[in-house]
Structure 1
Amino acid sequence: MNNAYHIKPVKTPGEIQQCWEVISLLRPHLNKDTWIDTVSRMMQHEQYFIDGIFDTGRFVAFAGYRNMTTLHTGNFIYLDDLCTLNTYRGKGLASLLLEHVKAVAIKNNKDAVALDTDFTNNTAQKVYLKNGFKLAAIHLLCDVRR
């Protein structure tokens, strides 16, 4: 992996917009026109953070996460989003971001880092397992939108 890659926090509307190319790969259902407002609200009201890897004038990978507390898991970081541009995959950027989020958790006295992944996303699952995650639960969802 290129040691020149570094992680920087994403905070401003301009930086949030620069992440669109990456997030649209992971979340194609999102609307580019409302992306900045949605993330800004999440940052303001839900303790959502984005830390990204910037290269060649653009964000090429990022992790979106939040602080949470549940009776089941305790005080932890929930990793909502982790994605890398296709041309940067296989370079260790996801592992770099996972190590970063785990370090944030340790620094902030969290009990764990948790995430969900699609059953069919075997590539991501291999990365998570390689980075110390284990299968701990099955996430169930009931879509109530009409």
Structure 2
Amino acid sequence: METVYEIKKIETELEIEQCWDVAFLLRPHLDKNKWNATIAEMMQNEKYSIAGIIDNNKVVAFAGYRKMTSLHSGNIIYIDDLCTLELYRGKGFATQLLDHVKEIALLLHKDAVVLDTAFTNNTAQKVYLKNGFELVAVHLTKRLK
């Protein structure tokens, strides 16, 4: 049986800082020195929130998401980031966080929960498909730098 951990809304500067190890696994291009300021700006300007799972005063998994509206998907919650420390994988944390974000979306009367994942991230894709997500689009990017 999977252990259910409390999911906490990450809000303080210290809590944001404690998310770094998880974030760096998913986004190794990020600069640790800019991490707190970047997240604070996203929270203030882009309706970004973080839900974290904490074990022994350490964030071991988190989902970063935002409330937004798009012509394509409607009034949604978009999950930008979802990751678990390697030592804690396989414990159902991703599913717990996906369920948590879905509950927020339902409470806010959103049309959908949307996310993107890398083509090569088969492990995450299996988790998302198992949790009711559908493959509906191809996400394309043109890098400018």
- The TM-score, its normalising length taken from structure 2, stands at 0.98
SS across alignment from 2:101: helix
Aligned position for 2:32: 32
Q: Write the distance in 2 (CA, Å) between the matches of 1:139 and 1:68.
A: 17
Aligned position for 1:65: 65
Q: Write the distance in 2 (CA, Å) between the matches of 1:94 and 1:71.
A: 28
Structure 1 segment 80-99 matched on structure 2, within 5 A: 80-99=80-99
Count matched residues: 144
Aligned position for 1:54: 54
Aligned position for 1:2: 3
Which residue type is aligned with residue 101 of structure 2?
A: V
Q: Write the distance in 1 (CA, Å) between the matches of 2:32 and 2:141.
A: 25
Structure 1 segment 95-110 matched on structure 2, within 5 A: 95-110=95-110
Q: Write the distance in 2 (CA, Å) between the matches of 1:113 and 1:82.
A: 13
Aligned position for 1:123: 123
Aligned position for 1:134: 134
Ranges in structure 2 where 5+ consecutive residues have no aligned partner: none
Q: Write the distance in 1 (CA, Å) between the matches of 2:99 and 2:136.
A: 19
Which residue type is aligned with residue 18 of structure 1?
A: Q
Q: Using the TM superposition, give the Cα deviation of residue 35 of structure 1 relative to its aligned residue in structure 2, in angstroms.
A: 0.1
Q: Using the TM superposition, give the Cα deviation of residue 43 of structure 1 relative to its aligned residue in structure 2, in angstroms.
A: 0.0
SS across alignment from 2:129: helix
Which residue type is aligned with residue 102 of structure 1?
A: K
Which stretches of structure 1, 4 residues or longer, exceed 3 Å deviation after superposition? none
Aligned position for 1:16: 16
SS across alignment from 2:99: helix
Q: Write the distance in 1 (CA, Å) between the matches of 2:31 and 2:72.
A: 33
Q: Using the TM superposition, give the Cα deviation of residue 57 of structure 1 relative to its aligned residue in structure 2, in angstroms.
A: 1.7
Q: Using the TM superposition, give the Cα deviation of residue 32 of structure 1 relative to its aligned residue in structure 2, in angstroms.
A: 0.4
Q: Percent identity?
A: 60
Aligned position for 1:77: 77
Q: Using the TM superposition, give the Cα deviation of residue 136 of structure 1 relative to its aligned residue in structure 2, in angstroms.
A: 0.6
Which residue type is aligned with residue 78 of structure 2?
A: Y
Ranges in structure 1 where 5+ consecutive residues have no aligned partner: none
Q: Using the TM superposition, give the Cα deviation of residue 144 of structure 1 relative to its aligned residue in structure 2, in angstroms.
A: 1.1
Q: Write the distance in 1 (CA, Å) between the matches of 2:73 and 2:26.
A: 25
Q: Using the TM superposition, give the Cα deviation of residue 69 of structure 1 relative to its aligned residue in structure 2, in angstroms.
A: 0.4
